[in-house]
Amino acid sequence: MKKLFTIPFIASLAFIMSCFGQGESFPTNLPPIEFNQKIKELPKAPLIDVRTPDEFSKGHIQNAINIDWNGSTFDQQTAGYDKSAPLLIYCLSGGRSGSAAAKLRGQGFKNVIEMSGGMMKWRAANLPEVTANQANAGGMTMENYNALLQNKKIVLIDFYADWCAPCKKMKPFLEEISKENTNTEVIRINADDHAQLCQELGIDALPVVILYKNQKQIWKNVGFTSKQEIVKRLK
């Protein structure tokens, strides 16, 4: 009985170990510096930027191919790639590339590597990027930004993007706060249009809300926050 029990047990254990051995050995999500190294290690691998063409034109990783995740031809444009070969993918903050990567894996792509944090983290790491015309994208300067803070009112700065779901959810009540609080100046800054400013301020995720009083930062929140929480901070 002992021998009969031992053999199936060993066979089962061997089967389990073989299953683990067949698992994916490649990294699927890398921070910017490691992602940049992977680009260098895999020069022939497609590098796909899934942001909008407008975002792409304002700054992207060199040699990246723009295939808009929210566009109508995403499936058609990615269908021709070799599903067994590595494919690198990124967006602005990681949300869209994560969704795109999940879909590609579901379609049979074996080695999809995402950049965690997207271009916001890439810029925060001071890694190089190019624009459509090889010139620096425009946007607000630090001098312009500091001028906004020279206000007797409390200044509430909201860094957002049009594609950002939490940003969209916050927009209506930020407008309400602006109307209901006469002592507060609410200013919304589109991160896509002011990439250099975001880099200088260390804004590497969205949304971000910052409160200033007498030109000094008194509160900062990264990610979604409620109207109640902001009003409480204003008091």
In order of start, what are the domains of the chain with their CATH numbers? 26-124 (3.40.250.10), 142-234 (3.40.30.10)
The predicted-structure confidence for 100-121, as pLDDT tens digits, reads as follows 999 999 999 999 999 999 999 9
Name which of 43-57, 90-104, 134-148 the model is least confident about: 134-148
What pTM was estimated for this model as a whole? Answer: 0.69
* In the predicted structure, residue 163 carries a pLDDT above the cut 60: yes
Section 72-86 average pLDDT: 92
Distances in Å between the Cα of 222 and the Cα atoms of 11, 122, 209 are 51, 18, 7
Residue 17 pLDDT: 43
Mean of pLDDT values over 203-232: 95
Tens digit of each residue's pLDDT (9 = 90 or more) over 14-25: 444 434 444 445
Helix (H) or strand (E) holding 62: none
CA 26, CA 220: separation in Å to the nearest integer?
37
Question: What is the pLDDT at residue 132?
Answer: 64
* Per-residue CA distances from 195 to 9, 28, 97, 131 (Å): 59, 26, 19, 12
Residue 212 pLDDT > 50, yes or no?
A: yes
Round the average pLDDT of the chain to a whole number and report it.
87
Residue 208 has pLDDT above 60, yes or no: yes
The pLDDT value recorded for residue 26 is 62
pLDDT 10s digits, 27-60: 689 999 999 999 999 999 999 999 998 889 888 9
Tokens linked to 233: 């901070």
Given a contact cutoff of 8 angstroms between Cβ atoms, the answer to whether 125 and 100 are in contact is no
Active site residues: 164, 167
Mean pLDDT over residues 134-161, rounded?
82
pLDDT for res 135: 42
Proportion of the chain above pLDDT 90, given as a percent: 68
pLDDT given for residue 14 in this prediction: 46
> How many whole angstroms separate alpha carbon 207 and alpha carbon 225?
9
